[in-house]
Structure 1
Amino acid sequence: MTTQHVRPRTPSPDAHVSYAGGADAPAPGFERIAPQTGVGLVLRAGEMLTIVDPCGEQVSDFFAFGADDHDEWFSTGRTTDYKNSIYVGPGDRLYSNRSRVMATIVEDTVGVHDMTLTPCSQDTFDLLYPEFEGAEHPSCFANLVSAFDAFDISSDRICTTLNVFMDVWTDLDGELHIDPPPTMAGDRLTLRAEMDLVVGLTACSAEKSNNGNCTPIDYRIDRPS
């Protein structure tokens, strides 16, 4: 059973979309993640990570570990449980598997994100996308593996991600549906780290999740003054 779906944007109050970057280059002070790639970074407590969709309709997968203890990681299950919702948005906290707050969403011009789907992997494309005929395909999982490898974090520890800007919903029978991201060029999400973190961030590799076209993701780390 499928019913018509319209998931509204729920941005932060007074959020204004303004971004000097675009398809050709990121805004000054921002770094760029090329399409279908990823990056690993350290985010210290109090620092802000801003994730920007410079072109529109692009998902970014986010996952994090405690910088000092890689046995602590971002838990979509704990976050869903304590929010009593599968959606997160402005003001919400991201919890670890130990029920500690890892990060807080401090600004969000979209308010549409997903915490139900794992990062796309080669297996995803082999099992769900027969049109690729088993060909090797870039994936968020492989990009996160590479990002965390620099921190000696095993791929087996990578769990369900926060899929920033991804629009996933269920019908009354529980079937999952993926709609194009509702982002416009320049939309952003800003997280404040509440503990020292190792973060993996991608420009999602799955064409279906990005309305058929994979584009870059820009990001910036702001340190407390």
Structure 2
Amino acid sequence: MTTDTETVHRIPPQSGTGFRLRRGEVLVVIDALGEQVSDLMAFAEDNHAEWLSSGRTFDYNETIYLTTGHVLYSNRSRPMFTLLRDDVGRHDFLLTPCSTETFELLYPPGTAEGHPSCFGNLVQAFAPFGIQPDQIPTTLNIFMNVLVGQDGRVNIAPPVSTAGQRLELRAEMDLIVGLTACSAEGSNNGTFKPIDYQIRRAQE
């Protein structure tokens, strides 16, 4: 599938991928069919001890609801992404990527056996770049609809994203990126669908 300029890649349901993203390039994450979450994590290409940080990002933007114009920061307080376009306005940066333990602790007994997970898919995606499992922190869960009550309790509601809606992120440094089509039933309104993405070249 192509556009006028760059290829649109498809991540199959319950899987993930890893790639390099150069400074100035724009990553476009597209909910191809609607109501599908995509977990994103990034590391500085030249130093894998620098990663995308939810805590620093919340601190410097003074909000947990990130959208167009916000900057996403690394654990070393350097800008990693700028959000250029947000069709949905609801994403999560509070919860960790689903893992085998997620399904063991939060889902019905027996669910975990053989169940794909975003954490497992990110481990595979980052392995060729030498990034280890314990280096993967909280992910930016694109299109995930997490509601926070007045008592602080969190509730995962169905995504509000519809088919074709997107989030565009401009890289502010050279990055290694991992991206998934989320594997957790509870995050995707009970279904699993693909995620599309595109890398737009840096503007000269």
TM-score category (smaller protein): over 0.9
**Alignment partner of 1:159 is 2:129:** no
Within 2, Cα distance between the matches of 1:133 and 1:188? Answer: 31
1:144-185 CA distances to partner (integer Å, 9 max, x unpaired)?
000000100011010000000001011122111011000010
SS in 2 for 1:178: strand
SS in 2 for 1:72: strand
Mapping for residues 205-224 of structure 1, pairs under 5 Å: 205-224=183-202
Match of 2:162 among 172, 184, 191: 184
**Alignment partner of 1:52 is 2:30:** yes
TM-score (normalised: structure 2): 0.95
Deviation of residue 132 (structure 1)?
3.5
Deviation of residue 138 (structure 1)?
0.3
Within 2, Cα distance between the matches of 1:53 and 1:163? Answer: 12
Shift in CA distance, 27/159, structure 1 to aligned 2, threshold 3 Å: same
Gaps of 5+ in 2: none
Does the Cα contact within 8 Å between 2:36 and 2:195 map onto a contact in 1?
yes
Identity rate of aligned residues, in percent? Answer: 57
Shift in CA distance, 79/123, structure 1 to aligned 2, threshold 3 Å: same
Which structure dedicates a bigger proportion of its chain to strand?
2
Gaps of 5+ in 1: 1-25
Match of 2:153 in 1: 175
Within 2, Cα distance between the matches of 1:134 and 1:181? Answer: 23
Shift in CA distance, 109/67, structure 1 to aligned 2, threshold 3 Å: same
TM-score (normalised: structure 1): 0.87
Within 2, Cα distance between the matches of 1:71 and 1:53? Answer: 30
Match of 1:73 in 2: 51
Deviation of residue 89 (structure 1)?
0.3
Match of 1:144 among 113, 122, 125: 122
**Amino acid of the residue matched to residue 189 of structure 2?**
N
**Alignment partner of 1:201 is 2:179:** yes
**Amino acid of the residue matched to residue 82 of structure 1?**
Y
Deviation of residue 131 (structure 1)?
4.5
Shift in CA distance, 133/206, structure 1 to aligned 2, threshold 3 Å: closer
Match of 2:105 among 98, 116, 127: 127
Match of 1:107 in 2: 85
Deviating above 2 A after TM superposition, structure 1's stretches of 4 or more consecutive aligned residues are 131-134
Within 2, Cα distance between the matches of 1:52 and 1:42? Answer: 18
